[in-house]
Amino acid sequence: MNKAEQNTFNIFLDSIQNVEQVKYYTNEIHELKKFIKEQKKYEKEAINVQKSLSFLNFGQQIILNTNLFLCMYLTYLNIANDIFPFSYLILVNTLLFQLAMPLNMFGTIYRETKLSLVDIESMIKILVKKIKSPDYGNQMLIKNGNIKFENVYFKYPLNEDINGLEQNYQAKEKDPNIINNINNINNINNINNINNINSINNIYTFESNVKNISSTNMITSSINKLKKWYLDKVKDNKKNVQYNNNDVKKTNPNITKNLNKEIKENINTHLKNHKIINNSPNYNNNNYLFQNFTCNIENGEKVAIIGKSGSGKSSLIKLLLKFYEVNSGNIYIDNKNIDDIDLYTLRKNISVVPQDTILFNNTISYNIKYGNFQCTDKQMIQASIKAELHDKIMKMENKYDTIVGERGTKLSIGEKQRICIARCFLKDSKIIVLDEHASNLDNENKKAIEKALTKLCMGKTTFIITHVMENLKHMDKIIFFCGKNIYVGSHKNLMDDNHFYREYYDSKNNKML
């Protein structure tokens, strides 16, 4: 019943919030039918619950009244036989009715408890969810905007809440590849095991496959490095172990446990560093939005992110902001892994100008100061001037005290974008993200917005997610999403060397013409 009630409420709320869209397409009847359908489901569930409560109360009343009758009858017999005085009849009657009142409430309490437990169960699932919360006591200053994506794999999480919660990509127990890999590690539990070298080979073969490493030399070098370390340990134990042609042969069963433990820990540590053990995703390349993505971005560079809708452009930024977790690989800012930067500091140093700015139903000054509540009124006005917004505000009746309306409905799209840019000036981040910021603007507003953004992005690392081709020539780098592949380079280099980029660029230009 709780679920049906929640669904009914959600449909009602969704229709109210999107009332303009409903009216645009004259779908009032459709929304009404949808609501009535869910309401009937809720009514049906509510009737079933009420029936069960009625049966429970009916059963209670039968039991209770039967007991009352028996007690009163027994009391009457004792009084009739002069065992009890007549006053006992009043006493027993009073006590029984005092007991009956709470018992009558038992059915209602039981119903309310059962319904509450359903909600509590959902609440507990959220409470036990592990998240990486902002660590306000471990703040560090990001001085530059150097960003490095290193061998990043990512696919959308399944059956997980993604509203800023940490995503867990633990090894799946039924994945045969990962089971075999862990078995290989478990096999390396004794330095005398002749299969140890083969186990090392198997582990590296697995690792190279899942990471899609194309360089045979890299694989061979890694294998030989671990083999050499392993065999050096064997040499150090000459009295106990001998080896010939890289095959370890058992000569003495009294191998020290410490050496065995050291060998296993070394291999475990190596694999954990490569995110193979206890953090291994199910490597099915068909499921990945992008894989093995590597890119270096220097401080102050302007980087365009382009590609078809749904190719992963915005997801790359969400990985940087840690709204999503990478499946494998690392992301660095100023040579520091973002996993080692507290969320407060990370997000404090990244400003985003989205396609559609959402404002709070409050004053213009409140919405601008949302970028930095510690700012003064003078700093807020300076930010508004830089955002090409101050003159427009001063023409309003209540100026900075003007209420913007729910979600900013009383302002134009251009004015909302300027408020967002003013927020970013106050936030003063080292990294700026422009996500389709000009797609809904007319030419006049575009020019004003671009002028404001030029000031905002000066000397800062800037990502520009766009479908507009005209500014690509001025970008320091372009990240081009093309299916499962991501190409990185300047406009000139990509035009010269990448026919996919040329085709995409030409097709966009032809559409503009």
What distance in Å separates the CA atoms of residue 311 and residue 303, rounded to the nearest whole number?
Answer: 17
Mean pLDDT for 376-385 is 91
Question: Phi/psi class of residue 275: alpha, beta or left (left: φ > 0; alpha: ψ in -120 to 50)?
Answer: left
Same domain, 71 and 10: yes
Report how many domains make up the chain: 3
- Answer yes or no: do 105 and 219 share one domain: no
Q: How much of the chain exceeds pLDDT 90, in percent?
A: 5
The pair of three-digit structure tokens given for residue 41, joined into one six-digit string: 């489901």
More confident residue, 210 or 31: 31
**Within a domain: 367:** yes
The CATH number that applies at residue 21 is 1.20.1560.10
Q: Looking at the chain, how many residues does it have? A: 513
Could you tell me if residue 290 is inside a domain? no
pLDDT of residue 506: 83
Nearest CA to 196 out of 179, 212, 184, 206 is that of: 184
Note whether residue 133 is domain-resident.
no
Q: Structure tokens of 58?
A: 């009916």
Residue 382 and residue 374: Cα distance in Å, rounded?
A: 14
CB atoms under 10 Å from CB of 456, counted, come to 22
Residues 182 and 236 in one domain: yes
Strand pairing report for 147-154 and 290-297: antiparallel
Look up the domain containing 216 and give its range: 170-273
As a whole number of angstroms, the distance between CA 235 and CA 242 comes to 7
469-504 residue pLDDT tens: 777 888 889 999 887 788 888 888 888 888 888 888
- Residue 147 forms part of a structural domain: no
Of the three residues 250, 273, 296, the one that is the final residue of a domain is 273
**What pLDDT, in 10s, does the model give residues 288-309?**
788 888 899 998 899 999 888 7
102 and 13 in a common domain:
yes
Single out the residue in 459, 480, 501 at which a domain terminates.
459
When pLDDT is cut at 50, 70 and 90, the band that residue 379 belongs to is very high
Q: Say if residue 365 is in the same domain as residue 452.
A: yes
For residue 321, is it within any domain?
no
pLDDT of residue 378: 92
Q: Say yes or no to pLDDT of 195 above 70.
A: no
* Residue 340 lies inside a defined structural domain of this protein: no
Band of residue 436 on the pLDDT scale cut at 50, 70, 90: confident
Please determine, for residue 117, whether its predicted confidence score (pLDDT) is greater than 70.
Answer: yes
- CATH classification at residue 427: 3.40.50.300
**DSSP collapsed to 3 states, 449-476:** HHHHHHHHHCCCEEEEECCCCCCHHHCC
- Mark whether 195 and 256 lie in a shared domain: yes
331 in a structural domain: no
Backbone torsions φ then ψ of 509, nearest 5 degrees:
-65, -40
| Higher per-residue pLDDT: 53 or 405 | 405
Let me know if residue 421 belongs to a domain.
yes
Residues 6+ positions from 12 with CB-CB distance below 8 Å:
35
Can you give the pTM of this predicted structure? 0.58
Are both 364 and 248 inside the same structural domain? Answer: no
Cα distances from 402 to residues 357, 364, 397, 410, 505, in angstroms, run 17, 6, 7, 10, 43
Q: Are residues 105 and 205 in the same domain?
A: no
Whole-number average pLDDT of the chain: 72
| Dist. CA 385–CA 393, nearest whole Å | 10
pLDDT per residue over 248-257, tens digit each? 444 444 444 5
Task: Return the number of other C-beta atoms located less than 10 Å from residue 214's C-beta.
Answer: 9
